[in-house]
């Protein structure tokens, strides 16, 4: 016996349960009123409970109730708030459906939705009502609903067997499993029949029909048993869950797994349902496997396969598609990969002798430790409806004809030469032909060709000719050998060819994915990713693609990305929005909003949806399974690429933030110093003057006033620089180009620097032939002023400054040089950096002047460089392009 201390719950298990509970708590709670068939009083019970809840003050509304004109039921609805139904026009008649948008907008605590298995009118958002209910639950609204046992997907077959009528409207078992509460409404069959006779369920006329067809005592008992058993199973399961949580005993089994093999046959449905039941009672997870043998499937088979897979998914299976020539080998491989202990296969039909029987033999032989279950076909009435249960011939009649004609033709051609080469040689020629045939035709025609070859050889060549009889034993052996060898060769090469085709397809798929991944990884922005995605999907699926992204606030963009190859209309946009918010695929070929033009797939992000991809196939071609799988693979690749770019963006932005933080600090330090120095001067000196106006000598006060003036000018320059810098950085600098005389600009700069240039002999050298240039006068003037001021500021008094203008090729070159100490050699490249200041530089600079000059010059598409002249001193060279110029000697032509 284990001590209590050791029977603590498995933490992973607890976590899983917690997660499940959490998920549930965000969603609305689902309560199902469950019964064996119509008329047991589910709706009545639901309404009674709703009234009780309403009486307690809970916000209950009626989403959809079918009263079936039953008086008692109708009375119960009175007094409850009813959401008006939505009217849908369909082929001239008006149908009424539940208005899901109105319910979501009303947002009650509980909504009543009758008849969970109902199929909505075409044109509704979802094909089925249970999908409406799931969406309502997702929105945090509780739902009360009603359901009969025959409508459960996994029971539909059995019910059909019992009652003889096919159940069309089924709901996936998963919704039953996910219900928070199941309330069984049970009355005895006798009582139900009594109610029926009293006309409490249907009107008299319908009652009689119903009693004759469906409501037979035997049927009802069976249905009742089924309903009660399902509920019991559920209770049993709940107890087990509870035990797992509490770790009451060690009765917990290690996770079992079973796999079920399916094919494009309607029989697979029974296999799937059976697998679901077994896995449910065993508490095992289950995987449904389809082995793609690359046979060409007919449209019907494709659809059947799609249905089978969908059913499996709905019933909670994981669906795996794999390729392989041998089904048994593939199944065993998957079983090992998935760590499954059981394999379920369908029992082969008696008439089909070929593959299915072999499959079971193969499985038996190779599966060693695995359990193999063979599921019998349920003799469902639906079987009669499905024609052509035999596998379709893989080769068309044309191929057979071709094979026969070719062999006969070859025989005819050889006929005249038989004396020359001998009749035995002819057999080799025919043999060669037959062994080449599989290149063009399937195994069937090849075998036929072998037979025809053998017979025609016998008839036309083997003596006695023109009879099928053979005179000597050797020849009869040869004829028999011919047939055997031809058949074997033909079949073998057919198999090789098939294998090759599978490999090619697999290769094509892999290389398509590889190409996409490669393209995506070389895309460097979100736009590029989308462009790549659109072109790849277009290329491999021959489809138009629309990409609609979500924005940073989590809202969906109001139009498709410009790189899209089609743009959804308003209606389709609504579908895309639904997909975006519900993160489920919808649109054409799905059960949700199937009237859309295209299929829309969600791109789910970590926190909010990233967007939606719409795929519109050309010529209304439906995708095969493989293609659909590939497309979904594509979309998940694209999604992660978009997510990657999004993260990159975030990263880039944080780098920018870090950079601007650094600049901010530098700016803060520099500016606070630069501002405080002149302010301190102004405050200090003016205080002196205010406090002791008489104590200061007149000439001294003049000096002090001068200081104030200088400080103010310095402040003014600093502010001007900062404003220019701000203009540059905000990208607001757009030069207003106008014809300018460079002489005029330099003259103006020098004039504004009159004071600063005192003590710096300045020479200006401008040749007469410099033309007018299109410039922004103010910006270039500021740029040159900064350069010249820089030269004056960082050279000792007495240093010469030379300004030289020349026109070289198509550029106006302005050089500002001095014969001072020059720039520090190691810093030449850094002089234009923001806040760069030469070590030991003169005070009064802001570290911005040259940066601004560079910015203004570059705004004119010009360049600036700095160097130390060989003869000593620094030189700054500005080059401005002369794209358009007017000769300065424009003579008075006007």
Query: Smallest gap, in angstroms, from Cβ of residue 736 to other proteins?
Result: 8
According to DSSP, the residues that pair with 306 across neighbouring strands are none
Burial classification of residue 362, based on how many CB atoms lie within 10 Å of its CB (0-12 exposed, 13-18 middle, 19 or more buried) = middle
The count of C-alpha atoms lying within 13 angstroms of the C-alpha of 669, restricted to the half-sphere facing its C-beta, is: 8
**Cα–Cα distance, 707 to 679 (Å, whole number):** 11
Query: Smallest gap, in angstroms, from Cβ of residue 728 to other proteins?
Result: 12
Give 104 or 720: the residue with its C-beta nearer to other proteins. Answer: 720
CB contact set of 520 (below 8 Å; sequence gap of 6+): 529, 532, 533, 637, 638, 641
Give 410 or 750: the residue with its C-beta nearer to other proteins. Answer: 750
Query: Smallest gap, in angstroms, from Cβ of residue 805 to other proteins?
Result: 10
Query: Smallest gap, in angstroms, from Cβ of residue 22 to other proteins?
Result: 57
Based on its alpha-carbon atoms, the radius of gyration of the chain, rounded to whole angstroms, reads: 44
Give 68 or 727: the residue with its C-beta nearer to other proteins. Answer: 727
**Cα–Cα distance, 493 to 598 (Å, whole number):** 42
Give 415 or 739: the residue with its C-beta nearer to other proteins. Answer: 739
Query: Smallest gap, in angstroms, from Cβ of residue 874 to other proteins?
Result: 23
According to DSSP, the residues that pair with 614 across neighbouring strands are 546, 600
Beta strands at 772-775 and 738-740: parallel, antiparallel or unpaired: antiparallel
Give 300 or 741: the residue with its C-beta nearer to other proteins. Answer: 741
CB 304 within 8 A of CB 264: yes
Give 344 or 788: the residue with its C-beta nearer to other proteins. Answer: 788
Give 14 or 740: the residue with its C-beta nearer to other proteins. Answer: 740
Q: Which two tokens stand for residue 839?
A: 């070590």
Give 669 or 716: the residue with its C-beta nearer to other proteins. Answer: 716
Query: Smallest gap, in angstroms, from Cβ of residue 735 to other proteins?
Result: 11
Query: Smallest gap, in angstroms, from Cβ of residue 721 to other proteins?
Result: 12
Helix (H) or strand (E) holding 879: strand 874-881
Helix (H) or strand (E) holding 627: helix 625-691
Give 557 or 712: the residue with its C-beta nearer to other proteins. Answer: 712
Query: Smallest gap, in angstroms, from Cβ of residue 610 to other proteins?
Result: 43
Q: Which two tokens stand for residue 578?
A: 């639904």
CB 415 within 8 A of CB 465: no
Give one DSSP letter per residue of 553-608, joined into a string: TSPBPSS--TT-SS---HHHHHHHHHHHHHTS-EETTSSBSTTSSSEEEEE--SSS
Beta strands at 142-148 and 30-35: parallel, antiparallel or unpaired: parallel
Give 720 or 877: the residue with its C-beta nearer to other proteins. Answer: 720
Q: Phi first, then psi: what are they for 260, rounded to 5°?
A: -120, 130
Give 383 or 734: the residue with its C-beta nearer to other proteins. Answer: 734
Nearest to 873 by CA among 784, 791, 783, 756: 791
CB 272 within 8 A of CB 260: yes
* Structure-token match 């939505």, residue found: 86
Query: Smallest gap, in angstroms, from Cβ of residue 755 to other proteins?
Result: 12
Phi-psi region of 823 (alpha: psi -120 to 50; beta: other; left: phi over 0): beta
Give 511 or 726: the residue with its C-beta nearer to other proteins. Answer: 726
Query: Smallest gap, in angstroms, from Cβ of residue 852 to other proteins?
Result: 13
The count of C-alpha atoms lying within 13 angstroms of the C-alpha of 1, restricted to the half-sphere facing its C-beta, is: 3
Residues at the contact surface with other proteins, assessed by CB under 8 A: 712, 716, 720, 723, 727, 736, 738-741, 743-744, 746-748, 750-751, 764, 766, 772, 776-778, 781, 886, 888, 890, 892, 894
Beta strands at 318-323 and 285-292: parallel, antiparallel or unpaired: parallel
Give one DSSP letter per residue of 816-865, joined into a string: EEESSS---GGGGGGTTSTT---TTPPTT--S-HHHHHHHHHHHTT-EEE
Query: Smallest gap, in angstroms, from Cβ of residue 788 to other proteins?
Result: 13
Nearest to 538 by CA among 572, 515, 559, 554: 515
Query: Smallest gap, in angstroms, from Cβ of residue 891 to other proteins?
Result: 9
The 10 Å Cβ neighbour count of residue 119 is: 15
Give 436 or 737: the residue with its C-beta nearer to other proteins. Answer: 737
Query: Smallest gap, in angstroms, from Cβ of residue 859 to other proteins?
Result: 15
The 10 Å Cβ neighbour count of residue 61 is: 20
Query: Smallest gap, in angstroms, from Cβ of residue 746 to other proteins?
Result: 7
Query: Smallest gap, in angstroms, from Cβ of residue 737 to other proteins?
Result: 10
Give 544 or 776: the residue with its C-beta nearer to other proteins. Answer: 776
Give 47 or 803: the residue with its C-beta nearer to other proteins. Answer: 803
Helix H, strand E, coil C: the string for 232-288 is HHHHHHHHHHHHHHHCCCCCCCCCCEEEEEECCCCCHHHHHHHHHHHHHHHCCEEEE
Give 729 or 827: the residue with its C-beta nearer to other proteins. Answer: 729
Query: Smallest gap, in angstroms, from Cβ of residue 748 to other proteins?
Result: 5
CB contact set of 440 (below 8 Å; sequence gap of 6+): 399, 402
Query: Smallest gap, in angstroms, from Cβ of residue 709 to other proteins?
Result: 10
Query: Smallest gap, in angstroms, from Cβ of residue 706 to other proteins?
Result: 14
**Stated length of the chain:** 894
Give 197 or 885: the residue with its C-beta nearer to other proteins. Answer: 885
Sign, CA dihedral 245-247-249-251, equals positive
Give 620 or 893: the residue with its C-beta nearer to other proteins. Answer: 893
Burial classification of residue 282, based on how many CB atoms lie within 10 Å of its CB (0-12 exposed, 13-18 middle, 19 or more buried) = middle
According to DSSP, the residues that pair with 287 across neighbouring strands are 259, 318
């Amino acid at each position: 016996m284990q001590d209590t201390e050791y029977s603590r719950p498995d933490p992973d298990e607890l976590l899983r349960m917690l997660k499940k509970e959490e998920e549930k708590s965000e969603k609305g709670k689902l309560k199902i009123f469950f019964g064996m068939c119509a008329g047991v009083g589910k709706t009545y019970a639901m309404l009674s409970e709703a009234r009780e809840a309403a009486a307690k003050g809970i916000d209950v509304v009626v989403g959809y109730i079918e009263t079936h004109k039953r008086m008692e039921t109708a009375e119960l609805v009175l007094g409850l708030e009813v959401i008006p139904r939505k009217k849908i026009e369909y082929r001239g008649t008006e149908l009424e459906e539940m208005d899901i948008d109105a319910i979501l907008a009303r947002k009650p605590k509980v909504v009543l939705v009758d008849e969970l298995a109902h199929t909505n009118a075409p044109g509704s958002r979802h094909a089925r009502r249970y999908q409406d209910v799931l969406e309502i639950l997702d929105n945090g609204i509780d739902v009360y609903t009603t359901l009969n046992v025959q409508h459960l997907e996994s029971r539909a077959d059995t019910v059909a067997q019992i009652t003889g009528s096919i159940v069309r409207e089924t709901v996936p078992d998963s919704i039953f499993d996910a219900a928070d509460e199941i309330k069984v409404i049970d009355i005895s069959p006798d009582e139900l029949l009594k109610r029926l006779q009293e006309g409490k369920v249907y009107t008299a006329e319908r009652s009689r029909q119903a009693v004759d067809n469906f409501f037979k005592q035997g049927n009802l008992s069976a249905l009742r048993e089924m309903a009660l058993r399902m509920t019991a199973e559920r209770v049993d399961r709940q107890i087990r869950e509870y035990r797992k949580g509490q770790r009451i005993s060690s009765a917990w089994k290690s996770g079992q797994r079973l796999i079920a093999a399916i094919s494009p046959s309607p029989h697979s449905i029974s296999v799937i349902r059976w697998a679901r039941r077994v896995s449910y009672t065993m508490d095992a997870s289950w995987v449904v496997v389809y082995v793609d043998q690359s046979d060409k499937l007919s449209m019907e088979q494709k659809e059947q396969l799609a249905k089978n897979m969908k059913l499996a998914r709905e019933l909670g299976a994981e669906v795996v598609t794999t390729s392989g020539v041998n089904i048994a080998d593939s199944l065993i491989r998957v079983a090992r990969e998935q760590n499954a202990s059981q394999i379920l296969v369908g029992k082969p039909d008696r008439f089909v002798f070929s593959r299915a029987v072999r499959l079971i033999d193969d499985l038996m032989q190779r599966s060693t430790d695995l359990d193999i279950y063979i599921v019998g076909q349920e003799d469902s009435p639906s079987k009669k409806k499905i024609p052509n249960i035999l596998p379709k011939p893989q080769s068309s009649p044309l191929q057979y004809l071709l094979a026969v004609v070719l062999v006969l033709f070859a025989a005819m051609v050889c006929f005249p030469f038989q004396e020359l080469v001998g009749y035995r040689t002819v057999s080799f020629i025919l043999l060669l032909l037959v062994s080449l045939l599989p290149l063009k035709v399937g195994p069937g025609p090849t075998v036929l060709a072998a037979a025809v070859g053998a017979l025609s050889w016998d008839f036309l060549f083997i003596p006695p000719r023109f009879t099928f009889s053979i005179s000597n034993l050797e020849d009869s052996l040869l004829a028999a050998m011919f047939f055997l060898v031809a058949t074997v060769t033909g079949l073998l090469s057919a198999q090789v060819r098939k294998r090759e085709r599978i490999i090619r397809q697999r290769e094509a798929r892999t290389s398509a994915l590889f190409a996409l991944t490669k393209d995506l990884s070389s895309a460097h922005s979100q736009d590029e990713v989308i462009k790549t995605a659109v072109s790849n999907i277009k290329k491999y699926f021959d489809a138009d693609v629309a990409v609609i992204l979500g924005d940073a606030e989590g809202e969906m963009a109001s139009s498709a990305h410009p790189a899209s190859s089609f743009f959804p209309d308003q209606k389709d946009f609504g579908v895309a929005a639904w997909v975006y918010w519900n993160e489920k695929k919808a649109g054409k070929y799905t059960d949700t909003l199937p009237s859309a033009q295209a299929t829309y797939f969600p791109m789910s992000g970590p926190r909010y949806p990233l967007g939606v991809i719409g795929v519109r196939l050309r010529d209304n071609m439906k995708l095969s399974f493989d293609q659909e799988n590939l497309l979904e693979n594509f979309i998940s690749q694209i999604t992660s690429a978009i997510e990657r770019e999004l993260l990159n963006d975030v990263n880039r932005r944080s780098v920018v933030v870090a950079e601007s933080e650094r600049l901010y600090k530098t700016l803060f330090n520099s500016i606070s110093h630069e501002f405080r120095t002149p302010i301190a001067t102004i405050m200090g000196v003016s205080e002196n003057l205010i406090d002791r106006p008489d104590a200061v000598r007149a000439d001294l006060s003049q000096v002090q006033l001068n200081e104030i003036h200088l400080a103010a000018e310095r402040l003014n320059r600093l502010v001007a620089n900062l404003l220019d810098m701000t203009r540059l950085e905000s990208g607001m600098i757009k030069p207003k180009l106008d014809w300018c005389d460079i002489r005029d600009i330099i003259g103006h700069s020098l004039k504004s620097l009159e004071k600063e240039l005192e003590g710096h002999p300045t020479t200006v050298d401008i040749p007469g032939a410099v033309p007018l240039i299109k410039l922004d006068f103010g910006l270039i003037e500021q740029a040159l002023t900064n350069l010249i001021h820089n030269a004056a500021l960082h050279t000792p008094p007495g240093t010469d400054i030379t300004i030289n203008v020349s026109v070289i090729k198509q550029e106006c070159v302005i050089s500002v040089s001095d014969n001072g100490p020059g720039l520090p050699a190691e810093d030449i490249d850094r002089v234009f950096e923001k806040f760069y200041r030469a070590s030991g530089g003169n005070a009064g600079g802001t570290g911005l002047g040259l940066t601004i000059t560079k910015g203004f010059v570059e705004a004119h598409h010009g360049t600036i460089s700095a160097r130390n002249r060989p003869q000593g001193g620094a030189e700054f060279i500005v080059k401005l392009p002369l794209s358009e110029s007017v000769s300065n000697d424009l003579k008075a032509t006007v």
